[in-house]
């Protein structure tokens, strides 16, 4: 099955320089200092999920085809400014070598004369620098640290959209010191997500889930003017329901946000937008329960739910979502419908994933973002049936909130120079 292609024809011209615009004549023989997001899980010293590595392959292969040497920067885990064996990048470098089919030289540091000498002495086409977060100066965007990194390249490429919301030395500092370009993954992320915000194909439906309204409120407010419908699932839906006086048992709510939730519902009504909340919910004694206790119609509960919590959307809600999505031409999905990591409570999330994949196959454009949603899609083997699966995590969330990402802003600023 072919992967859907995101239609970016309605999007404005790129606001930043991209490696897609580079030619071998311009960069052959130069060193491309590339920020990638290789913050991948390791199990017993080996890569256990390679999605982020594979996502960067088009950029790396393109740069190699132009005759450049590729010098890679990344972080791994949270070493808090100290070198830690568990967070070394050599296992990632070794894994990458297998994917690229070329030698990858993994170094035990990311700055300094020994690093510079090792790069100069080696003929390896790809060099994996050590974890940049072994230095606290990385997260501080320290100018001197940025200068030491910049000495390792002739031009800079940011292909780490997942870290673009961080103003770090490897995402911002270096970009001010070298000619700076977006990688192909960065370009793809900004095209797909930017298209949703700037000029989506209508009808546009957003499905937003997760635990707390507070973590997604800015996304909801920023998307409301763009969409025809907002479908809200996960525990965050209970705040909206409880604010309306619906009995949600012991389900997670944020009472301090009841007025905000009601205000958003009122705004949607005035704008002629739909906000779709769960009609029924699967309830259990806790998120770790091994089975559901009952499925409850929230508007006409037929039993006492005082001691139960909602853990998934029910079949009536799934049916309602299917109806709303049936005419959609653009779909954004960010956040699960329930406690999907617990198999008994994953049915709602899985149903949404299958629905969106089917509608995409029928010609709609779909973007899925957020770690939990992406994990659900990958678990079901549906990744290639969405138009775009974002690697961004927190970065995609901030982008959808309408925030300017530091790692993107600096690329735009460099183009304007």
Residue by residue, DSSP assigns 318-367 as HHHHHHHHTT-SEEEEES-SS-TTSGGG-HHHHHHHHHHHHHHHTT-EEE
Q: At residue 143, does pLDDT exceed 80?
A: yes
Return all residues near 194 (Cβ < 8 A) that are at least 6 apart.
11, 399
pLDDT tens string 88-121:
999 999 999 999 999 999 999 999 999 999 999 9
Which of 61, 90, 212, 358 does the annotation list as catalytic?
Answer: 212
Which of 153, 173, 348, 371 does the annotation list as catalytic?
Answer: 371
pLDDT tens string 8-34:
334 445 688 999 999 999 999 999 999
At residue 416, the pLDDT reads 67
Which of 52, 69, 188, 347 does the annotation list as catalytic?
Answer: 52
pLDDT tens string 301-329:
777 888 999 999 999 999 999 999 999 99
- Listed by start position, the domains of the chain span 19-188+404-416, 200-386
Range in 115-119, 278-282, 287-291, 357-361 the model is least confident about: 287-291
Q: Is there a catalytic annotation at residue 54?
A: no
Tokens found for residue 179: 């000619």
Contact 284, 311 (CB under 8 A): yes
Contact 32, 52 (CB under 8 A): no
pLDDT tens string 229-282:
999 999 999 999 999 999 999 999 999 999 999 999 999 999 999 999 999 999
Return d(Cα 277, Cα 258) in angstroms, integer. Answer: 15
For 108-186, strand residue ranges (E) read: 126-128, 155-158, 180-182
Q: Average of pLDDT values for 159-163?
A: 94
Architecture of domain 19-188+404-416 in this structure: 3-Layer(aba) Sandwich (3.40)
Tokens found for residue 229: 């419908």
Provide, rounded to the nearest whole percent, the portion of the chain with pLDDT above 70.
96
Pairing of the two strands 280-284 and 69-73: unpaired
Contact 185, 87 (CB under 8 A): no
Q: Is there a catalytic annotation at residue 212?
A: yes
Q: At residue 35, does pLDDT exceed 70?
A: yes
Q: Is there a catalytic annotation at residue 245?
A: no
User: What class, spelled out in words, does domain 200-386 have in CATH?
Assistant: alpha beta
Contact 336, 372 (CB under 8 A): yes
Of 111, 77, 70, give the one whose Cα is nearest residue 91: 77
Return d(Cα 383, Cα 397) in angstroms, integer. Answer: 19
Return d(Cα 119, Cα 113) in angstroms, integer. Answer: 10
Q: Average of pLDDT values for 320-345?
A: 94
Q: Look-up: residue for tokens 């992406």?
A: 374
Return all residues near 344 (Cβ < 8 A) that are at least 6 apart.
284, 289, 290, 291, 292
Q: At residue 86, does pLDDT exceed 90?
A: yes
Return d(Cα 167, Cα 406) in angstroms, integer. Answer: 5
Neighbours of 345 (CB within 10 A): 24
At residue 165, the pLDDT reads 94
Binned at pLDDT 50, 70 and 90, residue 4 comes out as very low
Which of 61, 151, 394, 412 does the annotation list as catalytic?
Answer: 394
Range in 100-104, 168-172, 366-370 the model is least confident about: 366-370
Q: Look-up: residue for tokens 């797909």?
A: 192
pLDDT tens string 179-188:
999 999 999 9
């Amino acid at each position: 099955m072919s992967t859907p292609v995101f239609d970016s024809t309605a999007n404005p011209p790129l606001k930043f320089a991209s490696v897609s615009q580079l030619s071998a004549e311009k960069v052959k023989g130069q060193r491309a200092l590339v920020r990638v997001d290789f913050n991948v899980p390791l199990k017993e010293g080996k890569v256990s999920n390679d999605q982020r590595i594979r996502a960067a392959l088009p950029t790396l292969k393109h740069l190699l085809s132009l005759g450049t040497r590729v010098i890679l920067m990344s972080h791994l885990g949270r070493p808090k400014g100290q070198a830690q064996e568990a967070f070394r990048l050599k296992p990632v470098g070794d894994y990458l070598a297998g994917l690229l089919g070329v030698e990858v030289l993994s170094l035990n540091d990311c700055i300094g004369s020994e690093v510079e000498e090792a790069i100069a002495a080696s003929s390896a086409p790809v060099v994996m620098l050590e974890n940049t977060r072994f230095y606290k100066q990385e997260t501080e965007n320290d100018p001197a640290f940025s200068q030491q990194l910049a000495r390792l390249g002739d031009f800079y490429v940011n292909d780490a959209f997942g870290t673009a919301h961080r103003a770090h030395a490897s995402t911002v500092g270096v970009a001010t010191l070298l000619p700076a370009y977006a990688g192909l993954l960065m370009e793809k992320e900004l095209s797909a997500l930017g298209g949703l915000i700037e000029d989506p194909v209508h009808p546009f439906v957003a499905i937003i889930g997760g635990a707390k309204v507070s973590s997604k409120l800015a996304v909801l407010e920023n998307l409301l003017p763009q969409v025809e419908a907002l479908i809200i699932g996960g525990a965050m839906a209970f705040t909206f329901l409880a604010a309306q006086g619906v009995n949600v048992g012991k389900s997670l709510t944020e009472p301090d946000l009841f007025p905000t939730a009601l205000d958003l519902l009122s705004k949607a009504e005035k704008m002629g937008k739909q906000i779709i909340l769960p009609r029924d919910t699967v309830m259990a004694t806790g998120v770790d329960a091994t089975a559901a206790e009952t499925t409850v119609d929230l508007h006409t509960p037929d039993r006492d739910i005082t001691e139960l919590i909602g853990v998934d959307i029910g079949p009536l809600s799934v049916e309602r979502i299917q109806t709303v999505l049936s005419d959609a031409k653009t779909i954004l999905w960010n956040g699960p419908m329930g406690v999907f990591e617990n198999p008994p409570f994953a049915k709602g999330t899985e149903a949404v994933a299958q629905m969106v994949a089917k509608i995409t196959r029928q010609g709609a454009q779909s973007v899925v973002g957020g770690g939990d949603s992406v994990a659900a899609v990958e678990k079901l083997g549906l990744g290639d049936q969405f138009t775009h699966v974002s690697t961004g995590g927190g970065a995609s969330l901030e982008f959808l909130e309408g925030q300017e990402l530091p790692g993107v802003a600096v690329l735009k600023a460099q183009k304007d120079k």
